[in-house]
């Protein structure tokens, strides 16, 4: 996390500046008018992490300027975090400060919360943790009504579970999500819900199949599964794939298959370049799917060259991007075969230069 330039009165205008910058990058393309989804100016972030600064007997949350580990900025409050984190920050710091056992060589505190009110706190240390630590951490968890994890080098002590459970309504249906610690989840829960709703609205019910790359814990997979005959969702992270599988099973979906493959590996599999044992469990062979739609939510690096070529073969491409620069590069390639049907911007990260975009592309008529 970066230091906060908190300007709530300018939140909407800052978002407008980012969208205008993105449109300049995409200016060579024929674009529809974008839909813009602004974030609340405060209380939107569901995860946060702070270094711990020890100043004599005092203990503070702190952040540091980039490249400067000797100039802590003490954080007394952090207005962008959600209510569950806000409620816990001060009492947690006070209890840590009073406990020699809990504060000793404490290096960092990480918060993971949900819109539905759960909270998981991870305490990271530069020392081994023992039963004395566990006993006091259990008291801390009970006092704050939260889950606690202790971490140090090669050690992880989970006092309850290492995940929180979220409940999100999309298109009139409620979905349960297990969100593990240290798996990527969308940090702005309100904007994430808007992204899910927007994506669902872009898809009509069809008897064709969806291929999803970078599915994470199944954030978009679950609601979109109601629109397609089958969904094959891929993700490289082992814990994220396990969470996505749990989420699919506990939401009683029957048409989602998951495979632990990178986008590059899935592209190779689709081209029949080599067999992958991690696809052997599928209910049907890869060539028996009737894929017409591709959903990709890549990291900031965007799509690699081979995956861009793969996307060119699909009738429709749903692209969620967190980097306007790599989005512009990828769309320059895809515009040879596709045209942009819908465009949306989402202020997932207010007060930063980062911008989330949603693009729907359809195959050009021959």
User: HEC profile for 119-142?
Assistant: EEEEEEECCCCCHHHHHHHHHHHH
The four Cα atoms 312, 297, 212, 278 give a dihedral, to 10 degrees, of 110
The arrangement of strands across the sheet holding 119-125 comes to 73-74, 58-63, 47-55, 106-113, 119-125, 147-152, 155-158
Distances from the Cα of 118 to the Cαs of 83, 121, 165, in angstroms? 11, 10, 7
Cβ neighbors of 322 (< 8 A, separation 6 or more) are: 299, 300, 348, 354, 355, 356, 357
The DSSP letter of residue 38 is P
**136/90 Cα distance (integer angstroms):** 18
Residue 169 among the catalytic residues: no
294, 315 Cβ separation under 8 angstroms: no
Which one of the listed residues 49, 249, 322, 341 is annotated catalytic?
Answer: 322
Which one of the listed residues 110, 166, 265, 356 is annotated catalytic?
Answer: 356
**345/357 Cα distance (integer angstroms):** 5
> At CA 260, angle to CA 258 and CA 261, rounded to 5?
115
Residue 325 among the catalytic residues: no
314, 341 Cβ separation under 8 angstroms: no
**88/74 Cα distance (integer angstroms):** 17
The CB density around residue 277, as the number of other CB atoms within 10 Å, is: 6
Backbone angles phi, psi at 345, to 5 degrees: -120, 140
**297/154 Cα distance (integer angstroms):** 31
Which spans in 99-220 are helix H? 100-103, 131-144, 189-201
**327/349 Cα distance (integer angstroms):** 17
Which spans in the chain are helix H? 11-25, 83-98, 100-103, 131-144, 189-201, 221-224, 238-250, 263-270, 305-311, 324-334
Query: Annotated catalytic sites, by residue?
Result: 322, 356
């Amino acid at each position: 996390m970066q230091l906060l330039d908190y300007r709530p009165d300018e939140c909407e205008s800052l978002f407008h500046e980012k969208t205008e910058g993105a449109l300049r990058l995409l200016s060579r393309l024929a674009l529809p008018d974008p839909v813009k989804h602004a974030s609340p100016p405060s209380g939107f972030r569901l995860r946060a992490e702070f270094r711990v600064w020890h100043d004599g007997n005092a203990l503070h949350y702190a952040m540091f300027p980039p490249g400067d580990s000797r100039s802590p900025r003490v954080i007394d409050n952090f207005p962008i975090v959600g209510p569950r984190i806000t409620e816990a920050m001060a009492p947690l710091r006070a209890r840590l400060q009073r406990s020699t056992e809990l504060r000793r060589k404490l290096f960092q505190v990480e918060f993971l919360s949900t819109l539905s009110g759960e909270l998981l706190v991870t305490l990271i240390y530069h020392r081994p943790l023992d039963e004395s630590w566990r006993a006091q951490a259990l008291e801390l968890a009970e006092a704050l009504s939260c889950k606690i994890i202790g971490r140090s080098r090669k050690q992880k002590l989970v006092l309850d579970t290492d995940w929180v459970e979220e409940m999100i309504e999309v298109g009139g249906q409620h979905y349960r999500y297990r969100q593990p610690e240290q798996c990527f989840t969308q940090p702005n829960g309100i904007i994430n819900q808007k992204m899910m709703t927007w994506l669902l609205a872009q898809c009509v019910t069809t008897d064709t199949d969806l291929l999803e790359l970078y599915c994470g814990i199944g954030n978009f997979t679950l609601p979109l599964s109601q629109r397609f005959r089958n969904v094959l969702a891929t993700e490289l992270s082992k814990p994220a794939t396990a969470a996505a599988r749990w989420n699919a099973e506990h939401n009683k979906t029957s048409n989602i298959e998951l495979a632990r493959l990178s986008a590059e590996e899935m592209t190779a599999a689709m081209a029949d370049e080599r067999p992958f044992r991690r696809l052997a469990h599928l209910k049907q062979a890869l060539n028996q799917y009737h894929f017409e739609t591709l959903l990709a939510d890549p990291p900031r690096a965007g799509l690699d060259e081979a995956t861009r070529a793969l996307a060119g073969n699909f009738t429709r491409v749903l692209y969620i991007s967190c980097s306007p620069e790599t989005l512009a590069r990828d769309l320059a390639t895809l515009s040879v075969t596709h045209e942009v049907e819908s465009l949306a911007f989402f202020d997932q990260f207010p007060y930063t230069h980062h911008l989330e975009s949603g693009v729907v592309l359809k195959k050009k008529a021959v």
